[in-house]
Structure 1
């Protein structure tokens, strides 16, 4: 497992954690910082790290809560199965293929944010 943390003035404003093989297990951005590039920067760093470890990595996956599907789609993920419920938790499997990852490898996104 590995991940990245985004901080502003010592405050954690975003986190992404990956479990092998290439499964996002935790991904959030604080409400005040959503839509400001923090999530994109965290995901980009994660993809760069995954591709350094395995240049032939074909995809990354996430089990999205239904309310976050649109966000993941904007980041380049697509639905990879039907909604499921496991131990009372609803989720939709999603994945990003190499084509989706390529945009993050071509021009990694950085976010430099002042406090809101």
Structure 2
């Protein structure tokens, strides 16, 4: 893992276009090939910069990961307890950035909501192994909604 000089922070308003571009690159590389046209269109509508910024402004926590001024990843959590986006630049995957983002957003959510017991995520099929490494467990079999294929997962938090 290479977490040297990695900074995790909240986004600035002018960064959401770059955040959306990172999300699209990571999605196109790993998730889009396993979805039909409906699923891709559903995701692209969800992942435009205005939508990401709007969620950040209303009942969502967002963190970015950057190193030396380069945006490497993002995570967004819908309050109180649902991880709705986690994307890492394809060339930077496997370096612990996703794990660092998940741990940081959970810590932030717990600080804002004492007593939080679980975090859920609808993991894309390719991301299930990563979420399992982060401590999430599948709660059911694969599901499909609006063309998006996912596995509902949950992580128990320490009391």
TM-score of the two chains, using structure 2 as the length reference: 0.59
Pick one of 43, 47, 64 that aligns with 2:123. 64
**Deviations 1:40-66, CA, capped at 9 Å, x for gaps:** 111111111111112211100100111
Find the residue that maps to 1:6 and give its secondary structure.
Answer: strand
- Which ranges of 4 or more aligned residues in structure 1 deviate by more than 6 Å? none
TM-score of the two chains, using structure 1 as the length reference: 0.80
Pick one of 73, 79, 96 that aligns with 1:14. 73
More helix by share: 2
Deviation (angstroms), 1:37: 1.7
Contact 2:80/2:109, CA 8 A, preserved across alignment: no
Query: Based on CA coordinates, which of the two structures has the bigger radius of gyration?
Result: 2
Partner of 2:145: 86
Gaps of at least 5 residues in structure 2 are 1-59
Q: Are 2:90 and 1:31 equivalent residues in the alignment? A: yes
Gaps of at least 5 residues in structure 1 are 103-116
More strand by share: 1
**Length, aligned pairs only:** 100
CA RMSD of aligned residues (A): 1.3
